[in-house]
Structure 1
Amino acid sequence: MLSKPSRIYLLFEGAFNFADKIIAPIFVVFLQSFSLTPAQIGVLLSVSNWVTAFLDFPTGALSDLKGRKLTSTGGLFLFGIGLLIYGLGKNFTTFVVALSLMGAGFAFVSGSITAWYLHEIKRIGLKSEIHRVFSLSTGFSSAISALAGVVAGIAASVSLRLPFLIGGAVACVMAAVCFFVMPENYGTQNKKHLAFMSDTIKTFWGAPFIRKYVYLQVLAEVGFCYFILSWQPYLMSFGLKASSLGFVFTLMMMAGAIVGLLLSRYMNHTNNPTVVALSVLLMGIAFIGMCVGRSLTAAVLSTLLYQCALAIKMPAHAAWLNGFLKDENRATILSAISTCVSVSTALFFIGLGVWMQHVPFKAGFILPAVALFIATLLAISMDRTEIRVTVSEQD
């Protein structure tokens, strides 16, 4: 049986993923129902990333200094409020407000819940459980997301607004539950906020591994952003109805859950950099499949391949990075990385939205494929032994 910190971590991740994924099958379609262009949708989707980028680093430091439970649960609650406003929205301005709150919520959660979990699991002496739980988290979250997809499909057949309202309610309720069952912990309480952030920035830029890790994440984010913008209209271009997107999404999440659960059995025996390189390569191949696919079956298989590759990448990436971070500033470093990625994501959503509007739809998939193939080469080049020595010197 898993330890209490592991169960709480999975509960939190499951709640956050349900709230996030119940809207995923109709997020873009909902905006299209207001006659917004791909470029306008790209700008809207960038809003939450700009807010996250602005708040992520200071909230990460706040988490280490003032308490990781408070920031994690507060972030989940803010995310839920944003979803509720989004579901009730009727114009561009309302969506901006909603996405700003969702971005702020993500900023508070980013890094905090992982740092909270790693602190608790090490405190009770069960570090051996970490790799298994990271993989289980991917499988469990995918299973929860699959359930969210079914609920989204049923709810969307009633109203496209309903999935947002359900997700918001779940996030707010589970934030309250987690607040009462999670013990509080901290990174360090002996430094002032600005001084702590300054010291962390020096560590961040002084570690070659972290810089390369950010480059890798940014390149992979090109593929992720393009997938978010394109998979729904891509499948609908083959005749799939909007009401069926939720069920395809469920299939994607189930595939990810199976991969995540299988990976959890072997996570302790795998080389994380190799797994990351392989998964990113598979993502690139998925986009090539989208480019050349000529049937709905081929299109669905390509989206499934991308989702499975993402399920492989996430736990390996997390375990790879967290193996090199110190507990005292873990949340702050994770938030600093998230800030860099969020800025890139915001720019990518805008740029890729314009790209999709001016480039033939299927030909556009070449761009993310190229970015992911470059990311694969970068992952292969990141030698684990050299990195460990470099980061140790920062200590």
Structure 2
Amino acid sequence: MQPFNSAWRPNAYMVYMGMRATSAFAFSLVITYELVYHTIAVGLNPLQLVTVGVVLECMTFFFEIPTGVVADLYSRRLSVLIGLALMGVGFLVEGLVATFAAVLAAQVLWGIGFTFYSGAESAWISDEIGEARAGQAFLRAAQIGQISTLAGVGVAALLVNGGANRPLVAGALIYIALTIILLWVMGESGFQPAQRDEWSIRRAMLLPLQESIQLVRVRPVLFIILLIGVVIGLCLGGFDRLNAAHFTQDFALPALGPLEPVAWFSMMSGAIGVLSLGGAELVRRRLDLTRHIVIVRLLTGLYSGMLVCMLVFALAHWFWAALICFCVSQALRNTGRPILIIWINQHAEPRNRATLISLYWQSNALGQIVGSPIIGWIGAAFSLRAALATGALVYGLVLPLLRRAGRDST
């Protein structure tokens, strides 16, 4: 189905901002209380919770490249639409069927959907408005996304009073509605697919990947970016799964009147959203992100701050110190995420941009698949503090990689 006539169809920039705002709101609805839903409504034990995470990361690992190739070879728009639809259906299954099997099936659906969406939406807007404008668009979209995330956190807190699954179902329906709207308003005029008249399907699927790997070989910075993705995955896969347990098991959460202790997580999400919004605006206004060395120095500062905050969070015995450092670390992480995409875009060729972005997320997923069980074992055998501190120290390996990237730019 073709989108509406371009005479009155919204321009690509506005469509992108609307898409990012809506998807961030829907994802916030889902993710804020997803673990609460798994624990309370579905009744998953710790081993099952870890299994859910591993299944999700396996989907990312195995499907990032094939779905990125689809976006580069056939259509960015089609890849975005497929991704959003699969995410919506996956979350709907998860929210409506409270069983372990349904949760696993949902991870398969929305995990594959995310891989269709993640690289394609960035590549689509870069094609439509040009790489120079796309950098600013990424930062503005990150800000709008943070505002939408804050709104989603608040709405989720209201919906959860009627049942732990309600935020998931609401988010799923929004994803499905967004897919239908984009089917009509999202155009695609800047994309130039590779010629494939004489290719077999197999060769057509593999060529963008082969070209991307060749590009990584001749551009050392891209190889460094992929290594950074692995290191971040090694650390943050376990960190994301253990930080809530650290708060609930290693600290006595202060009373919040009539509210349940889980309300602290909504408050933390809100604080992280505000800090992330401010960080993105500061970067957008003050820094020239068209320069390679500026990006390297910015990421070095952001990741150094994350390392310090994560270590303090892991080792602190005072709740407020842990709370502040956790929120700051996540805000720095959110600020750095679009910077990495800008960095990849600067060194990628237009025809394989989506595949390279997908290759980065696949390297991140590989790190999580390998690192999460190790960090989890440390937490079980020793303590959560030891596990989180180990993850933070592993994260420090990003800094020498960034120094190497800085030398390559001079």
Question: Conserved in 2, the CA contact under 8 Å of 1:84 and 1:169?
Answer: yes
Q: What residue is the counterpart of 2:96 in the other structure?
A: 88
Q: What residue is the counterpart of 2:174 in the other structure?
A: 170
Question: Conserved in 1, the CA contact under 8 Å of 2:12 and 2:187?
Answer: no
The two structures have a TM-score, normalised by structure 2, of 0.86
Q: What residue is the counterpart of 2:268 in the other structure?
A: 248
Tell me which of 282, 285, 288 is aligned to 1:268.
288
Q: What residue is the counterpart of 1:6 in the other structure?
A: 13
Moved more, 203-212 or 280-289: 203-212
The answer as to 2:385 corresponding to 1:362 is yes
The answer as to 2:117 corresponding to 1:105 is no
- In 1: Cα distance, 2:355 partner to 2:132 partner: 24
Q: Which amino acid aligns with 1:85?
A: V
Deviation of the 1:265 alpha carbon = 0.9
Helix, strand or coil for the counterpart of 1:188? coil
Question: Conserved in 1, the CA contact under 8 Å of 2:235 and 2:368?
Answer: no
Deviation of the 1:366 alpha carbon = 1.1
Q: What residue is the counterpart of 2:152 in the other structure?
A: 148
Helix, strand or coil for the counterpart of 1:140? helix
Query: CA 1:21–1:350 in 2, change beyond 3 Å: closer, same or farther?
Result: farther
Moved more, 164-173 or 137-146: 137-146
Question: Conserved in 1, the CA contact under 8 Å of 2:87 and 2:172?
Answer: yes
Query: CA 1:83–1:308 in 2, change beyond 3 Å: closer, same or farther?
Result: same
- In 2: Cα distance, 1:37 partner to 1:279 partner: 35
Q: Within 5 Å, give how 1:1-395 maps onto structure 2.
A: 4-33=11-40, 34-122=42-130, 127-185=131-189, 186-191=191-196, 192-237=204-249, 238-240=251-253, 241-268=261-288, 271-383=294-406, 386=408
Moved more, 142-151 or 10-19: 10-19
Helix, strand or coil for the counterpart of 2:358? helix
Q: Which amino acid aligns with 1:43?
A: T
Question: Conserved in 1, the CA contact under 8 Å of 2:231 and 2:367?
Answer: no
- In structure 2, the gaps of 5 or more residues are 1-9, 197-203, 254-260
Question: Conserved in 2, the CA contact under 8 Å of 1:223 and 1:283?
Answer: no
1:161-212 superposed Cα distances (whole Å, 9 cap, x missing partner)? 1111111111111122122111125342313333343333333344322221
- In 2: Cα distance, 1:382 partner to 1:267 partner: 19
Identity of aligned residues (%): 19
Helix, strand or coil for the counterpart of 1:90? coil
1:219-242 superposed Cα distances (whole Å, 9 cap, x missing partner)? 122333233212322333334401
Helix, strand or coil for the counterpart of 1:268? coil
Q: Which is bigger in relative contact order (C-alpha 8 A, separation at least 6)?
A: 1
1:62-93 superposed Cα distances (whole Å, 9 cap, x missing partner)? 11121110111210111011111111232221
Query: CA 1:29–1:348 in 2, change beyond 3 Å: closer, same or farther?
Result: farther
Deviation of the 1:113 alpha carbon = 0.7
Q: Which amino acid aligns with 1:83?
A: F
CA RMSD of aligned residues (A): 2.1
1:84-134 superposed Cα distances (whole Å, 9 cap, x missing partner)? 111123222111100000111011012111111000002xxxx54322222
Question: Conserved in 2, the CA contact under 8 Å of 1:131 and 1:264?
Answer: no
Question: Conserved in 1, the CA contact under 8 Å of 2:75 and 2:193?
Answer: no
- In 1: Cα distance, 2:128 partner to 2:314 partner: 45
- In 1: Cα distance, 2:76 partner to 2:220 partner: 27
- In 2: Cα distance, 1:315 partner to 1:194 partner: 27
Helix, strand or coil for the counterpart of 2:98? coil
- In 2: Cα distance, 1:351 partner to 1:27 partner: 23
- In 1: Cα distance, 2:211 partner to 2:47 partner: 39
Q: Which amino acid aligns with 1:255?
A: L
Query: CA 1:344–1:372 in 2, change beyond 3 Å: closer, same or farther?
Result: closer
Q: Which amino acid aligns with 1:188?
A: P
Deviation of the 1:247 alpha carbon = 2.7
Question: Conserved in 2, the CA contact under 8 Å of 1:14 and 1:140?
Answer: yes
Q: Which amino acid aligns with 1:76?
A: L
- In 2: Cα distance, 1:359 partner to 1:102 partner: 33
Helix, strand or coil for the counterpart of 1:160? coil
Deviation of the 1:387 alpha carbon = 5.1
Deviation of the 1:327 alpha carbon = 0.6
Moved more, 133-142 or 200-209: 200-209
